[in-house]
Structure formats: structure tokens, C-alpha cells
Amino acid sequence: MATPRTSYGCTLTEPQREKLIALLEAGNYRPASVPHTIIAVDGSNCRINLYKSGKLLVQGKGTEDFVVFTLEPEILGRAELGYEKILKPEATAPHMGIDESGKGDFFGPLVVAAAYVDPTLAKAMEQIGVKDCKKLSDKQVFAIGARLRALLGTNRYKLVTLPPETYNRLYAKIRNVNRLLAWAHARAIEDLLTGVPSCPRAVADQFGAAHLIKRSLMKKGREITLEQHHKAESDIAVAAASVLAREQFLLILQRLGKLHGTTLLKGASDAVRQTAIDLVRAKGPGVLVSVAKCHFRTTDAVLAATGASRADLGELGAAVSRHAEAEKTGKPPADDDDTRAP
């Protein structure tokens, strides 16, 4: 692994300067006094100087973290792959990225995708516009997703899709979002290793303890180096996985809506809750098991509004998170790896 670079400079546009100044003034940075600067601060192991000329200079051991995880996504609005090859060569070295879609959406599936990248694929991905799916419209996700699947072929990406009924069945057994995510991540890693057995490394977002994924891996997967990072979507392979996972999520959400004669919305908003209420009134509470993640607290609001209860959902819809159960019983949750359901 190359030694991290400790200096980075670029020239910002006026709008970029304004955004950076606002970010530095609002963030956990210590003001510094440097001649000829508009603003100068000390961050986490780095000094950030914005000069009156518009030139930005970042220096110190924390340079690459600030550039990759803050400057590029928040200010520049893009990942500079050409720079990353110098600053962080492993960014385009052979590895896979894993990301999920649907975790925070009441309706629809949970999808985990794994995508492989090497220097040649990374360059091609940059050219077709691959980036974190949260920065793309649904239309862009479909367009880029189609080109990405054609680029990778069937061996260099894999999807693990849990439709609502499957998700609810697994959650009823596991009752822990992080463990369910870890299981799906592990399956995606294992599946991609069948297509690219030489892949040495997997990068994922840090949604929970790494041991949750590691202990879910089978023999083949335990040989790979697993890395978890905050804001891992800045990694091109993770960004590719985010696009593929989102594309699959949106496709299934649309199909479920057509199947039930309605439009199923993303997220867990008041509009989502009203759609669920209308659906339950039209088809009965049992429909939630086949279209929604029933452990969400949204389920209880929908059932209360329609005069139903979790007993009407059967075994698959009766499970709630251990934290929600603990709030009712007053006892601490049995598993400290648990997370609150949305």
C-alpha cells in the first residue's frame, strides 16, 4: 500500500469557496492565523488554508481523509479519480465494493450489491458517470445502471435481493437490522467471489461492527480482506454497487406497485404511511407482509389508523426490533448489536 500523501492543492471557483468557508465555519475546526488567507483552520491531523487567490492547500497526515471524504463529495461534487490514483492508489486497484438500497424505505425490498473494479473498469465507470446513487436521479440510476451492467457482465457484479416477504421472514428470525445486513453483505461477497475468485479486498460502508459480516462469511469469503469506511461511497466500486442496488430496488418497487394497483413511494414519510393505509383498507392488513418491511414503526401507525393489529399480519409481520420490544417491557434489549427500526 502506498504511503498516504500529506499535501494537496487545487483552485476553487467562487461558489466552491463560499461552500468551503461555510463548511469550515460550521464544522469542528480550529481557526488558525495564516497570511494572505480568506480562512485557515486546523482539522483532524491537517491544516486547511484557503488563500485570497482562490487556491486551496491541505497539508498534514489527515490530508487524504479530508480530500476524499469531505472536499470531493461536499465541495467539488465529484471524485477525482486521476488524483486518487496518486493520493490513494488502492482506490482503483482490484477490489469489490458492497452497498445496499432499501434499508430506510418502508415499501419494497432490501437489495445488497457487490461490484468488482480494477484500473481499467474504474476508468470506464468514470466515463459513464458512476457515482454514489444518492447524487443521481432515478432516471440517471436506470441509465447508468444499464450501462454499468453491460460493462461488468454477469461475473463482475452480484445482487442479493430480499423481497418484502423474504425480508420479513428473515427479520422474524434475526430481529436485528445490522445482522440482517451483515448476512446479505456476506452473501454478496461470496457470490462475487465465484465470478472473480482472485479479488483480494472488499470495501463496505461502516453500518455496524465488522465482525458481523466476517462471521457471516463462509470459507471462501473469510480469505478476503474486509474494509469498512465511513462515507465508503467515495470508493468507485462502492459507488457502482450503490447504483446497481438502487436500480434493482426501484425496479422491484415499481413491480410491486403495479401488482397491487398503486404507486409505492420511497422512504417512510407521511405520504408513504397514507399510501399504506389506503392499501390496507382496500386489501386488508395482510398485504403489508408482501409490500413492506413490517418491523418499521410505520406499520403500527398504519394498523392503528385502520383498526387492525400486528396479530392480523401473522408470524411474519408480528416481529418488532428488540429495542422497540424493550421500550414496551422496560427491559434492556438482549443484543447490544441491535439497531432501532425506522
pLDDT digits (tens, 9 = 90+) for 218-272: 666 667 888 887 666 778 999 999 999 999 999 999 999 999 999 999 999 999 9
Per-residue pLDDT at 217 exceeds 70: yes
Which pLDDT belongs to residue 242?
Answer: 96
122 and 179 inside one domain: yes
27 and 76 inside one domain: yes
Which pLDDT belongs to residue 336?
Answer: 41
Domain termination residue (choose one: 254, 289, 308): 254
54 and 136 inside one domain: no
Mean pLDDT within 73-78 = 80
53 and 102 inside one domain: no
The CATH code of the domain that includes 50 is: 3.30.310.10
179 and 43 inside one domain: no
63 and 178 inside one domain: no
Structural domain boundaries enclosing 37: 7-91
Mean pLDDT within 168-185 = 91
3-state helix, strand, coil in the chain (%, to 5): 50, 15, 35
| Residue 266 near residue 312 (C-beta atoms within 8 A) | no
Domain termination residue (choose one: 35, 61, 91): 91
Lowest mean pLDDT among 63-72, 113-122, 272-281: 63-72
What mean pLDDT, rounded, does the chain reach? 87
Name which of 271, 255, 239, 262 is nearest 109 in CA terms.
255
In a domain, 157, yes or no: yes
pLDDT > 70 in the chain, percent: 85
- What is d(CA 146, CA 251) in angstroms, rounded to the nearest whole number? 12
Contacts of 342 (CB under 8 A, 6+ apart): 104, 106, 268, 296, 297, 298
Domain termination residue (choose one: 254, 276, 296): 254
Report if pTM > 0.85. no
Name which of 108, 72, 100 is nearest 243 in CA terms.
100
Place of cell 440510476: 141
Query: Strand 30-31's sheet: what is its strand order?
Result: 7-11, 55-59, 47-51, 37-42, 30-31
In a domain, 198, yes or no: yes
Cell output for 253: 418497487
pLDDT-derived band at 72 (thresholds 50, 70, 90) equals confident
pLDDT-derived band at 326 (thresholds 50, 70, 90) equals low
Neighbour tally for 215: CB within 10 Å: 13
The CATH code of the domain that includes 189 is: 3.30.420.10
268 and 246 inside one domain: no
Residue type, 47: R
133 and 83 inside one domain: no
Lowest mean pLDDT among 52-61, 97-106, 230-239, 244-253: 230-239
For the chain, what is the domain count? 3
In a domain, 341, yes or no: no
Cell output for 314: 401473522
Which pLDDT belongs to residue 245?
Answer: 98
In a domain, 204, yes or no: yes
In a domain, 102, yes or no: yes
In a domain, 334, yes or no: no
In a domain, 342, yes or no: no
Per-residue pLDDT at 216 exceeds 80: no
290 and 155 inside one domain: no
pLDDT in tens, 283-303: 999 999 999 999 999 999 999
In a domain, 335, yes or no: no
56 and 87 inside one domain: yes
64 and 145 inside one domain: no
142 and 243 inside one domain: yes
Kind plus residue range of the DSSP H or E element containing 225: strand 225-229
